[in-house]
Structure 1
């Protein structure tokens, strides 16, 4: 299975983006291969993601979109994107499957930071003042 852009014509003039597509699903569940769609060539050139905060939890809508429609919708709903109950946030992106879940950042390294822990620093200062 190819995920990304697929040339439609042998000349390579038309490219097709793939996005996740679903209607009002909870828990970001539609970011699986079952929900991948090929967007309409030369019309839908972006992926759109809507995050709706409802009384029963966070719901997601994902789809293909034209850049014009998506950018207008996202800017029009910006004032309603508060993260609180009944908020709606719309985002647009133009890379394959970019309307999926955010990638998790790597955990901070357990390596020492070069600074002593505060307790050890306090103890060292106490010793210096006593001697």
Structure 2
């Protein structure tokens, strides 16, 4: 299962970087070199998180022998929790849950699906 870690992490990070840059472009109503910087930084952060988190998630799926539905739920819940934690960590939110940006859900939910599809589902389909 770990053979799919790198391709799944790269696909997830690429999606997250493009989605984040697109959301920033829509919010700022402009395109420019800053968008490229945002995309590259987002890709690097997402790749590190996806490699570490993906290894943990794949280990849990393997040890517990989770099926497709339960592994999908694990990916969705775990990646949402990590996204919320990163938002609190990087942006030092003061008002708790009220400060959580719904825009990150637009990135993290599909990113969860990409990560799961490129790893667990891909392996299940090939087996």
Give the TM-score, by structure 1 length: 0.25
Q: Identify the structure with the greater helix proportion.
A: 2
Between structure 1 and structure 2, the one with the greater Rg is 1
Q: Identify the structure with the greater strand proportion.
A: 1
